Amino acid sequence: MLIALTHLLAESSAVGGPKGTVTPLYLPNGSLTVDGVFSDWPLERFTQVARQPLFPEARDAVSNDIFQDVRGDHFLLEYDRVGFFNGTGNCATGPCGFTNDGPQDYGSAVYFAFDDVSLYIMAVVIDDRILNSGRENSRWGAQNFFYDGYALFFDVNNDSLDRTDELRYPFFDNATPNLDDIEISVGLNAAWPPAEVAPNALGIRQHVERSGDNVERSGDISLMGPFVDPRDFGRRTNNLDLKNGPGGVYRDAIESLIDAGGRDVAARSYDDLQAAGVSESIVKQIAQGEADGDRFRGYVIEQQIPFGFIPEFNPSHSMGFDFYWRETDRDWEPFSGNGRLALNWADWTQNTDVRSTTQGDHLFHASNWGQLDFIVPEPQWSVVVNLLVLSIGISVFRVTPAKL
């Protein structure tokens, strides 16, 4: 785990979130197959981008007014509209470090959908070099932050506007209201071969990186893995051997998906995203309008997060959330700025530092997160009943005057 999270960049002025709202698309059960192939996603139905303002407007906002229009059914990670942290970014937006190689090297569109079973995430990524091996050696693939991928933060009960790390940084606090705060990390990882027999299928792994309620007590097994206590991290040699392993609440929940014949996460690379079926309009969105006549390499990640792995994780209410993307282009270098020249860490809500402050700044302060707003359509029988009631009401209205 990367513990030495740097805080080198400018302080922000936090507002009481959400810093953007994404509404996942509801789909009938069984509509999506997690295999890294995006053809079953009805992308034509994703019509509204939750687009952040130019950096650093979101980071430095002193009012929620700026976020009223940051709402939609998907969002983009654009180089000039994200916040780079851990000492990464280019000289135009932060400390000189990782250098963007242009529109063919950086950009992503991230889509959210859900059914009665799970939340689904798909990231369509432009990337001219994919790194997924040679850096990670944990037993259960629990260090995928060394590779291309992303992480999601969830405030499951949507009740945190505080410092999630005040008591035990770099972990989330094991106290109210942060017990339900969770970070799920996803990363390409060649050490975990894909189930799909396809030349472009990529190994990938997901795990709980940190959570507020992750210590075994009274029979409550950790979300992160069996008996993983973050307070012992770095002092117990077997902690990485346990993290993300069988017996952890989250790992067991996603293994049940696999046992039923499904997948929890999958990825595929594409030499030409547009030729593979990604529409020109989507490629232009990701490449910030620079897709004319160009071939864009990249990859697609599909992820499934089962509802109910903890009871509160369900679509009956909104959830706080944030999202950051990791892009790796260079071979690993000595531990400087968390791999400053090897990793690019980019946050959707423009946080440029990690550890929270008493002023309400940075990534680990939940007031700087966005929100997932689930809208569950009425069941068909309910629609029919409502139509019948409406029809009867109209009939009564028409008949009654004739009797008067």
Q: Is the pLDDT of residue 366 over 70?
A: yes
Higher pLDDT, 336 or 61: 61
Give residue 216's pLDDT.
Answer: 43
Domains, in order of start, for the chain: 21-403 (2.60.40.1190)
Predicted confidence (pLDDT) per residue in 234-243, tens digit? 444 456 777 8
DSSP H stretches of helix in 275-367 = 280-286
Distance CA 322, CA 302 (A): 17
What is the pLDDT confidence band of residue 24, given thresholds at 50, 70 and 90? very high
Higher pLDDT, 34 or 281: 34
Cβ contact 252:146 at 8 Å? no
Q: Is the pLDDT of residue 302 over 50?
A: yes
Distance CA 198, CA 266 (A): 12
DSSP track, 231-250: GGTTT-TTHHHHTT-TTSHH
> Closest by alpha carbon to 125, among 55, 202, 50, 33?
202
Q: Are strands 118-126 and 298-306 parallel, antiparallel or unpaired?
A: antiparallel
Give residue 219's pLDDT.
Answer: 44
Predicted confidence (pLDDT) per residue in 39-54, tens digit? 999 999 999 999 999 9
Q: Chain-wide mean pLDDT for the chain?
A: 80
> Which residues lie below 8 Å from residue 183, measured CB to CB, with a gap of 6+?
151, 152, 153, 154, 172, 208, 209, 210, 211
Q: Is the pLDDT of residue 315 over 70?
A: yes
Q: What is the CA radius of gyration of the chain?
A: 22
- For the entire predicted model, the pTM comes to 0.85
4 exposure class (CB count in 10 Å sphere: 0-12, 13-18, 19+):
exposed
Report residue 50 as tokens.
């939750």
Cβ atoms within 10 Å of 95's Cβ, excluding its own: 18
Lowest mean pLDDT among 253-262, 275-284, 373-382: 373-382
> Which residues lie below 8 Å from residue 334, measured CB to CB, with a gap of 6+?
none
Give residue 341's pLDDT.
Answer: 52
**Element (DSSP H or E) covering residue 253:** helix 249-259
Mean pLDDT score, 55-63: 91
Lowest mean pLDDT among 46-60, 297-311, 389-403: 389-403
Q: Is the pLDDT of residue 393 over 60?
A: no
Distance CA 20, CA 320 (A): 10
What is the pLDDT confidence band of residue 291, given thresholds at 50, 70 and 90? low
Predicted confidence (pLDDT) per residue in 183-241, tens digit? 999 999 999 989 888 999 999 999 999 888 755 444 445 787 765 555 554 444 456 77
> Closest by alpha carbon to 48, among 285, 220, 364?
285
What is the pLDDT confidence band of residue 342, given thresholds at 50, 70 and 90? low
Distance CA 90, CA 111 (A): 26
Q: Is the pLDDT of residue 363 over 70?
A: yes
Give residue 377's pLDDT.
Answer: 84
Secondary structure string (H, E, C) spanning 19-47: CCEECCEECCCCCCCCCCCHHHCCHHHCC
Distance CA 374, CA 176 (A): 24
Q: Torsion-angle region of residue 225: left (phi > 0), alpha (psi -120 to 50) or beta? A: left
Q: Is the pLDDT of residue 9 over 50?
A: no
Mean pLDDT score, 334-348: 64
> Which residues lie below 8 Å from residue 160, measured CB to CB, with a gap of 6+?
177, 178, 180, 181, 320, 366
Q: Is the pLDDT of residue 263 over 90?
A: yes
DSSP track, 356-371: --TTS-STTBGGG-EE
Q: Is the pLDDT of residue 171 over 60?
A: yes
What is the pLDDT confidence band of residue 104, given thresholds at 50, 70 and 90? low
What is the pLDDT confidence band of residue 16, given thresholds at 50, 70 and 90? low
Give residue 392's pLDDT.
Answer: 63
Give residue 129's pLDDT.
Answer: 80
